[in-house]
Amino acid sequence: MNTITSIEDLKKLTEKQKKENSKYNKIVTLCAGTGCCASGCLSVLSSLRNELKHKKLTKKIKIRTTGCHGFCEQGPLMVIEPENVFYCHLKPEDIPEIISKTLLNDKIIERLLYADPASGKKIIHEKDIPFYKAQDRAVLGQNKLVDPCSINDYIANGGYSALIKILTSMKPDEVIKEIKKSGLRGRGGGGFPTGRKWEFCRGASGKPKYVICNADEGDPGAYMDRSVLEGNPHAIIEGMLIGAYAIGAEHGYIYVRNEYPLAVEH
Ligand code: FES
């Protein structure tokens, strides 16, 4: 584990991680969120791990297990990078063919592609699937780039750079001003402006102050908090640290449901 004490340290670590990832010919991003676990992704994962090990390919092909990609009904699913090939409804038996054809020879396996329900047309690339094309995935888009159990993966994708920036170049009031200017709002339904909330907290008397991340999401069938907690936990911690700096808090708590074991683990 590296200790980061300056922005230069973080930049060096970011570059090192990017270099690490560039050593691989392919990165197989396999969704291991709760939805895909329910449809059997863990047996697909173990088959992939075993086959790559057996074929001595672990130095050439990297497996990244991630949180939810947002398309759970198509799970288990994977995206093969750098080509952005999307395979869905995977079974462990598909793995040897995926390795021999797609990972080693860049050949597409037609039957594993997503079929557009409107036209019946098979789509090769994730970015061309209408479900993704119509979205700007500002919060959950990073899920597929990050292994939630790897802080280095988060850092390789620019993680913790916002925290370092504010700690090294901004006063708490400037952070609040910036957040107000951004128009950021709560996502729980009320849409309360975050900058105003932080301003009230900073101005409130009494010590110590606390940051509470309320990830309870009591609304039935709402899983947006779970998806972030499972898929990109460091983004939550970074956001809490920035909020703590802005309001002058020294402690933070995350309230996460016991019914979300993967979120708790991550
Ligand atoms: S859990 Fe895999 S796409 Fe949602």
Taking domain 7-155, whether its CATH number is 3.40.50.300 is answered by no
| 3-state class (DSSP) for residue 70 | coil
Angle of helix 233-247 versus helix 194-203 axis, rounded to 10: 50
**Digit-coded pLDDT (tens) for 148-159:** 999 988 998 999
Mutate which of 45, 68, 143 for ligand 1? The one with the most ligand atoms within 8 Å of its CB, which is: 68
Residue 76 alpha carbon, nearest atom of ligand 1: 2
Residue 74 alpha carbon, nearest atom of ligand 1: 3
The Cα angle at residue 123 between residues 119 and 125, in degrees rounded to 5: 150
- pLDDT tier, 18 (very low <50, low <70, confident <90, very high otherwise): confident
The Cα angle at residue 226 between residues 88 and 258, in degrees rounded to 5: 120
Mutate which of 29, 30, 31 for ligand 1? The one with the most ligand atoms within 8 Å of its CB, which is: 31
Residue 31 alpha carbon, nearest atom of ligand 1: 2
Rounded to the nearest angstrom, the distance between the alpha carbon of 35 and the centre of ligand 1 is 5
Residue 123 has pLDDT above 90, yes or no: yes
Torsion of Cα atoms, 69 then 75 then 79 then 80, to 10° = 160
Q: 64: which strand partners?
A: 29
Q: What does each C-alpha distance from 256 to 37, 225, 264 come to in angstroms?
A: 19, 9, 7
**Can you tell me the mean pLDDT for 218-240?**
90
Most confident of 17-21, 141-145, 181-185: 181-185
Percent of the chain with pLDDT over 70: 99
Residue 41 has pLDDT above 80, yes or no: yes
Phi, psi of 135 (to 5 degrees): -115, 150
- Ordered by start, the domain boundaries in the chain are 7-155, 166-265
Phi, psi of 181 (to 5 degrees): -60, -35
Phi, psi of 65 (to 5 degrees): -90, 135
Rounded to the nearest angstrom, the distance between the alpha carbon of 221 and the centre of ligand 1 is 15
* Interatomic CA distance for residues 78 and 90, integer angstroms: 8
Residue with token string 């309870």: 216
Rounded to the nearest angstrom, the distance between the alpha carbon of 160 and the centre of ligand 1 is 25
Residue 233 has pLDDT above 70, yes or no: yes
Q: What is 166-265's CATH topology?
A: Rossmann fold (3.40.50)
pTM of the model: 0.90
| Pairing mode of beta strands 251-255, 210-214 | parallel
Query: Which of 6-15, 54-63, 155-164 is predicted with the least confidence, judged by mean pLDDT?
Result: 6-15
Rounded to the nearest angstrom, the distance between the alpha carbon of 108 and the centre of ligand 1 is 22
**Digit-coded pLDDT (tens) for 55-95:** 999 999 999 999 999 999 999 999 999 999 999 999 999 99
Residue 2 has pLDDT above 80, yes or no: no
Q: Where are the beta strands (DSSP E) in the chain?
A: 26-31, 61-66, 78-81, 85-87, 114-115, 122-123, 210-214, 251-255
Rounded to the nearest angstrom, the distance between the alpha carbon of 13 and the centre of ligand 1 is 29
User: What is the average pLDDT score of the chain?
Assistant: 93
| 3-state class (DSSP) for residue 228 | helix
- Measured from CB, residues less than 6 Å from any atom of ligand 1 are 31, 33-36, 68-72, 75, 77
Rounded to the nearest angstrom, the distance between the alpha carbon of 230 and the centre of ligand 1 is 11
Residue 1 has pLDDT above 70, yes or no: no
Q: Which two tokens stand for residue 174?
A: 């400037």
Rounded to the nearest angstrom, the distance between the alpha carbon of 182 and the centre of ligand 1 is 30
**Can you tell me the mean pLDDT for 230-253?**
97
Q: Which two tokens stand for residue 129?
A: 């699937």
Fold matches, 7-155 and 166-265: no
Residue 41 alpha carbon, nearest atom of ligand 1: 2
Q: What is the pLDDT of residue 139?
A: 87
Q: What is the pLDDT of residue 188?
A: 75
